[in-house]
Amino acid sequence: MCRLGFINNERNKFIGDSLAVASSYYSSSNHDGFGYSYINKYNKNIIFKTEEKAATYWLRCGIHHIVSNNLIFHMRIGTTGEVADRNSHPFKSEDGQYVLMHNGIITNYEEYKKELISNGHIFTSETDSEILLHSFEENGFDMIAVLKHKNVSGYMRLLIQNTFTNELYLYTDSENMSVVRTDNGLTGFSDNSMFEGNVEINNNIFYIIQNGIIKDTIDAGKIARNTNKYCWNNNINYWNKGNYWNDTLLGNDTLRDNEINTEINTEMNTEITLSNKELRYLNKKRIKEGYGRLSNKDKNVSFEYYSYWFADYDYL
């Protein structure tokens, strides 16, 4: 299996030596590629990946002067796609916001990949892992529920950097992720063969990590969209807080009446952050009706604005 790890500290530190030691540790078994991504002290994202195994690379090039408080790294065993630079991890979203690496295997994704391509996503590798990057780009923390809805199967341990906010998102659906608290912050690895963790990491939870601490968690079994978005239920005259999204994905035919939010006047000014998929849909509709395009900086809209443009939107 592939292996991955991270170092997330309270402040920027020299971590090039730690990266070299940790990534070289498994070079004999994980020899089909190596890569890392970090955010430097100028808040610039630096990515490197190669088809070489880590130990060979470090012997040839020497330890790099890497100063960061947010670094992820990956050692590959190829299962899908040949041994090549392009198939090594990490992978970066088209807009540069997200950097993802994956340990695991994804299956039954071919039809969903075609859908993502039709939505404008560009695949740069032959791997199954890149599916996860573009799905997260479209769906954010709702990705796990969407994958299930699309009948995509497999298992995964994920590390995702948000280069815009300098956050790290950790997710696992198995119990092998080992995270340890250090004097400087948090260090993690995809199994406990390097060290025993002292931080509890549960399955099916997104852990939001920043500056060396876990600052929030999101249950991937629920719909994260509930925290900042309300959905219109077939144009009837009330707003249903979250239930439309949950019931559509989970296959429920009826809504729970006791959770219906009827305080429309209060909710109309609620701010909603559009996903990339929703922004593309909105721009197509605006252009068709003679309006100009919105940029990534215009993703925050009012609930009233959202209800006008997305009344007939297909969330899936």
Domain ranges in the chain?
3-219, 224-309
Query: What pLDDT sits at residue 226?
Result: 38
Q: Helix axis angle, 130-139 relative to 110-118, nearest 10°? A: 50
Q: Helix axis angle, 16-24 relative to 54-61, nearest 10°? A: 140
Query: What pLDDT sits at residue 27?
Result: 64
- CATH for 3-219 (3.40.190.150, 3.90.1310.10, 3.60.20.10, 3.40.1190.20): 3.60.20.10
Residue 44, burial from CB neighbour count under 10 angstroms (0-12, 13-18, 19+): exposed
Query: What pLDDT sits at residue 82?
Result: 67
Query: What pLDDT sits at residue 291?
Result: 73
Q: State which amino acid sits at residue 91.
A: F
Reduced to 3 states, what is the DSSP secondary structure of residue 255?
coil
What sections of the chain are H helices per DSSP?
16-24, 54-61, 110-118, 130-139, 143-149, 243-250, 264-267, 276-288, 303-309
Query: What pLDDT sits at residue 1?
Result: 67
Q: How far apart are CA 224 and CA 242, in angstroms?
A: 9
Q: How far apart are CA 153 and CA 305, in angstroms?
A: 36
Query: What pLDDT sits at residue 61?
Result: 77
Q: How far apart are CA 274 and CA 176, in angstroms?
A: 34
Q: How far apart are CA 148 and CA 253, in angstroms?
A: 18
Query: What pLDDT sits at residue 255?
Result: 37
The number of C-alpha atoms within 13 Å of 137 and in the hemisphere containing its C-beta is 25
Query: What pLDDT sits at residue 314?
Result: 59
Query: What pLDDT sits at residue 69?
Result: 95
> 10-residue block means of pLDDT along the chain (316 residues)?
87 86 68 86 90 78 84 80 76 92 89 91 87 91 90 91 95 86 91 79 94 93 46 30 39 38 46 81 79 78 72 59
pLDDT, tens only, 183-200:
999 999 887 767 778 899
With b for 16 or more beta-carbon neighbours within 10 A and e for fewer, the 122-161 pattern comes to: eeebebbbbbbbbbbbbbbbbbbbbbeebebebebbbbbb
